[in-house]
Chains A and B, each alone.
Chain A
Amino acid sequence: MSTSSSSSSIKTSRWLAFHALLVFAFLYLPIAILILYSFNGQGVGGFPPRNLTLSWYRILFSDAPIWDSVLNSLLVAAAAMLIALLFGIPAALAVDRANFPGKALFRRLVLLPLILPGIITGLSLLMLFRVAEVKLSLLTIILGHGTALISVATTKVFAGLQKLNRAQEEASLDLGATYWQTFWRITVPNLKLSIIGAALLIFTLSMDEIAVSFFLIGRDNTLPLEIWGRLRRGITPEINAISTIIFMFSLLTIVVWYRLRTRAEVTPEIGAELVETAGRS
């Protein structure tokens, strides 16, 4: 390599590093402000922040409607996770090892809620519940989240299945185990990491989801909808405080997940998987 091109490549490298710094600043600015102003006695705006205080957290802890909505969100996320895994795991198995009419359509349909704007999923389910005369409640949100997030379970478990060696399952069947035994003792343990990863992701995505819930909400709010309602009534740093707490919990989840994950191999493909999965928040 000639000296001129190597000095120009150092220059390029510096520009790229500078650009990266700016992008990171852009990505973290709102988060930093969000957290900072949760301690601001003067409200959500105003520079410089004044009268740093914990009082918004104190108000938050005695704010019953917020905590009710947190409980509702936890309930919805847990139930949606169960539905998504209950149907997503067999769906991945079916795509991997069965042939049936309409398989291509089925694959596409399952994945659609990931790439479609949430409004389409939300509205189409709203019409279903209207026609079926189902009253909107947390249950309809659970059905909505569960259905939309089957896609996450299916992609994650399918990726796990691609790496799975079928010889173990064959051996188990040859040695006289039933399909049920083979499923629980061989297939599931081998897919453990994919399933846990999918479960965590489904849980967090459901906790954050608003576009689908927006249309399926009954009387009880989930946390994002409770926040949404308050945003329209006028805002206080209480929202910053609850968001900060939730963010800290999410960070904790990622740390736990990476601890689990580093025991297995880490591949750049996680990125591609995440793109398809994280967009629903």
Chain B
Amino acid sequence: MSAKVTVEDVERVAELAHLQLTPDETGRMLLDLNAILDYVAELNELDTKGVAPLAQVSELQAEAGASDLRGDVVVPSLDRAAVMPQAPESDQVFFKVPKVIER
């Protein structure tokens, strides 16, 4: 888990995250990611065999009456007329984006 991150790793992860980094940024992120990952490697000291992962704390409050999921019922959501004007480009019904398929 103390894997050294390479420039290629940073570029691959940036691509996955749709982030375009300048060469300067890539260099800085390489240093920072390695420093942070070196630091988090401390967790390796702990034996967590058999420990169930905790993704969300509501289960810990079960006895205190934590929430049930709501019924699967259709209710109105935000009005399109209120939402669409916030889009950088739209025809008020659909969002417009650059061409995806050439033909």
The reply to whether chain A is a binding partner of chain B is no
Which residues in A have some Cβ–Cβ distance to B below 8 Å? none
